[in-house]
Structure 1
């Protein structure tokens, strides 16, 4: 089977996928991703509101509800409820079940004794075995998703009573999901915790980004419901988080570090978590936006490292670099040996490229700095530090077109390595390119969908 695939590589590399072919595949794959993602939300045998990370029960066993993964997934559900499936009673039921499941989890006994418990059994009870805990990103992402749901639900139904009862009750102690999550974030963001890969303790760029966004949006929502004291407090904490985030810039190496105050094997300081932190944590306020020059500097270095790390990336002119979690990764999807490219990480690069193009178009200018110079020279080789390219100029148009084509190249990578039925796993074997690790990873589908939406110019929130 391996020899057959390698014999086909030369043929595939000889003829690049046309834009029309790729666009058709993306449309079809997006439909498959929605279907597969929804199949992992409260499937048969699980309690209502449960979102399994994967149907895989062995090698590896991902048959659990991870708070972070579930929140990422429900953001996609909320996006549909807010756009193409507004008022859909099935989605309303699904989201309300998720609210109930989440509140039960908030009140369950957990080994960490806090809302930072990372995963739950599919019956809603907490996992009490050894694990990396606490993980403080999940409550923040969940708050962001449910705040958006609350706004949409009120707008579509006028049912403020449900929102004030189940989602945000303004009480202390609280009996509602969003309020509990926001209070936890506001009081614990300075505490060290495990990162999104569940491996390293410390302060993490990704975690702080999603926490800051949750508090900014939580402040607006608290004020909307008349809880102005909380709104003021949340904004104060968000401002302090921004101060902390600015300390992650490593000027000597030209990158945003992934973690501080940690004993990590990530000697490079590079991690796709920085990209994911902006995709899920940008608060639309100009701070660490998708076109932030320091983020783009980090993105460039990541891409270069992965290009030279995985054999499947060598000499591939028809598609882009397959992206992993971080260069020092040793998790192979089942055990430890050598790390592999991840589907959700590759999709994240595509989404970032599309969103950088969108943000530049909104700004109307591209500022070239010493930080983003190498990144931008990928699309316009004559770019010079200090230059400003305005919308409508040849330079501006060339870079925007390059970003969009670059995003397409990452999705083309997913196309090449996807299973023939369109299913997406967790990883690709770094040498052979086949799917490995957990099958039908829910987060892979959610990340592909959000990349596709960004490509269409209608990015999910």
Structure 2
């Protein structure tokens, strides 16, 4: 919504929708599971054969205070979900804080009479992130309990950007505390490197519940999604991090070998991307948000390369770029011409993944959750909101990259 407002696809009513989202979210934070438990009628309309999936009174009584923010799901009417699920999931408050912070930077948004709602929500989400970043939780796929690269990177970004916001508001003490926590998270993220220091593992097992999941499962598109959602600048845990680039290359090779639709693809198509090795959800096939996420990654890379005043390409980065792009000139990319050529190569790479999405999108423009690894037919959830959102953000990234390249002189 913010992106569509910034590129003027939507008008001022987009800010109304963002404010509605923030008010709804703030109301969710005030829910109390004890009220649901003591009411005692939450099981009344549940069929007998489904009761085993309903949460107990004891569990619901514990959903109070900031524990509400670790809830994975809420009902459309703004009430607590009574079904058992993989809880807690701690990426949500960090993501929401980043959403609010990025909206808060818009001058028109800061002029709104209801700005206080956004600030209250920010306080709640940032405090939760600060207080719970050390906790094990479930991943964004709601499958594995542990410590996750995706969640930690979003928590890092939220605390860094939140510290800047607090400093502007004059709260120097909390700003320093948030920055110190962010430094600790950064060190924890470094622990996600595999033993050969060649890629970032998506998760580390919860020490309370040792994992028996094979190491191959740790190579996961969640790492790439975390990078684009956190949108960090610099060469650590961002698009210029050689280890992130290595992770992406490994994922591309994985899905090129696993998916039949990638075997005979056109030369100007990128490989359709899934989630991780061994995924069996529905067809275990390609995901629109994964493939679009990789397109957005390359657009962000193109923009970063075009905007940097100078680049000294390390041997490690050179090897990564050589594996991604057709040809790399021999000179160091510390001139505008060299930087532009490299940025254009990254943009072209992003276009290849967009071409794959175009190939497997029906004439109606509908985007499901997955498309089959065998024939590209849409599967899984229909009209998935995340698929459409991934297209919007990838398109915005493409526009930003194109503008940056045009200005790279």
TM tier relative to shorter chain: 0.7 to 0.9
Q: What is the number of residues matched between the two proteins?
A: 364
Pick from 51, 69, 83: which aligns with 1:129?
A: 83
- Equivalent-residue separation in structure 2 for 1:391 and 1:435 (angstroms): 45
- Equivalent-residue separation in structure 1 for 2:302 and 2:328 (angstroms): 19
1:49-198 correspondence runs (5 A): 77-84=1-8, 88-110=11-33, 111=60, 113=63, 114=67, 115-152=69-106, 155-156=107-108, 159=111, 162-163=114-115, 165-168=116-119, 176-198=120-142
Q: CA deviation at 1:404?
A: 1.5
Q: Does 1:324 align with 2:269?
A: no
Aligned to 1:7: none
Per-residue displacement from partner, 1:80-131 (whole Å, max 9, x unpaired)?
A: 3344268x44223212211111011111135463111111111111212111
Runs of 4+ in 1 over 6 A off after TM superposition: none
Aligned residues: CA RMSD = 2.3
Unaligned runs of 5+ residues in structure 2 are: 34-59, 403-409
What secondary structure, in the 3-state scheme, does the structure 1 residue paired with 2:215 have?
A: coil
Q: Does 1:446 align with 2:398?
A: no
- Equivalent-residue separation in structure 2 for 1:282 and 1:94 (angstroms): 23
Per-residue displacement from partner, 1:56-83 (whole Å, max 9, x unpaired)?
A: xxxxxxxxxxxxxxxxxxxxx1233344
User: Whose RCO is larger (CA < 8 A, sep 6+)?
Assistant: 1
- Equivalent-residue separation in structure 2 for 1:317 and 1:432 (angstroms): 14
Per-residue displacement from partner, 1:253-307 (whole Å, max 9, x unpaired)?
A: 6111110124263522210011011101133354322121110011101100100
Pick from 229, 236, 248: which aligns with 1:287?
A: 236
Which shows bigger deviation, 286-295 or 367-376?
A: 367-376
Change (3 A) 1:282 1:156: closer
Aligned to 1:350: 295
Aligned to 1:308: 257
Q: CA deviation at 1:362?
A: 2.4
Change (3 A) 1:123 1:240: same
Pick from 182, 202, 206: which aligns with 2:146?
A: 202
- Equivalent-residue separation in structure 2 for 1:108 and 1:121 (angstroms): 12
